[in-house]
Chain A
Amino acid sequence: MSTTSRNSAGPQVLEADGIRIAFGGREVLGSIYLRVQTGQIVGLLGRNGSGKSVLLQTIFGARAVADASVRVNGRHVVPAFRQPSLLNYLPQEPLLPHSLSLARAARLLGVDLEKATARFPELRSQFGSRVGELSGGAARLMQALLLLHADTVFSLFDEPFSGVMPVHVETLAEEMQRLKARKGLLITDHRYAEVLPICDVVYLLHQGRLLKLDGDVREQLRDYGYLAS
């Protein structure tokens, strides 16, 4: 990462605002201010179609939005993905080509596969496998682990727990907790029961507005119609 965006004195701060997106005349994202800092796991919740993935992709820089402002320590970084070692993004859809082997993917991303899977010993027999040869859950878990362990300051995860079996979800959540010491994580996932306990900050996307939830988060999620009970 370029020296101008490193902040050796304290946590690195990622901020995004000015993001306005409409589809077919319907405003999906309108009033957005989001902040993530290293040492934090930030949860982003919202109903289907509320714009969570679009917001993550815009912050990542894959989606060009006029007037979008994404800053790290106050410095404008658009598109953010072009900044080496700044941030990575796990999309909802498959990240890796099916023909790519895990070992090669890890080399490309600069990740030590042994370390990344230290808490998932059953994955080790699959290092030589191609991504397309893994089960859906194992592929998802491997992709999340590769990005989690990559040397970036921030990681944006879109549905990291999707398709992953419960025992691995718990361990992956613990890994996220452990690695937030050197990273800022922004996670969106409908498995709120797993997401909420690990989050330091929770945002809810509701009718185009990004609301920061304080206090009793579950009660507010019920009030906004995200939870039934």
Chain B
Amino acid sequence: MTILATQLRAVGLFYRSVAPFMLGISGLILVAVLLPAVHEGWSRGLLPGLLLAKLTTAPVVWYLSEQLRPGQYWLYFNLHVSRRRLWAGVVVLDAGLFLGGALLVRAVLS
């Protein structure tokens, strides 16, 4: 297994541990903001703002995760992945999933 593949798997595994928070926030934004916007016809140009709002919640998830599971990084350190790289990967993955979900909602409903 290459180092890159191991690191990607590590990010995937770590994402699973924070997914309930991150996907919950994504769902909330999509249901509470995007869905009404699509129905009422004012969703054009809304996605960048929603993505920005979504990204601003990442530090909250990071803080909660640090407080609730301070010992969660040992496996990842043993896979040579630092905290910073882990969280960068998680934020990128989560932003991708959020954008994908938002585009899907818009495509289905509009």
A125-168 CB mask vs B (1 if < 8 Å, else 0) is 00000000000000000000001001000000000000000000
Q: Are B3 and A84 in contact (CB under 8 A)?
A: yes
Q: Which of B9-58 contact A (CB under 8 A)?
A: 9-10, 13, 16-17
CA of A17 to CA of B36, assembled, Å: 61
CA of A104 to CA of B16, assembled, Å: 14
B-side binding surface: helix, strand, loop or mixed? helix
Number of B residues near A (Cβ < 8 Å) is 18
A-side binding surface: helix, strand, loop or mixed? loop
Which chain A residues border B71 with CB–CB below 8 Å? 91, 93-94
Answer yes or no: A203 CB below 8 A from chain B CBs. no
Number of A residues near B (Cβ < 8 Å) is 25
Answer yes or no: A107 CB below 8 A from chain B CBs. yes
Answer yes or no: A196 CB below 8 A from chain B CBs. no
Which chain A residues border B74 with CB–CB below 8 Å? 62, 89, 91, 93-95
On A, residues with C-beta under 8 Å from B are: 60-62, 79, 81-84, 88-89, 91, 93-97, 99-100, 105, 107-110, 147, 150
On B, residues with C-beta under 8 Å from A are: 1, 3, 6, 9-10, 13, 16-17, 71-75, 77-80, 82
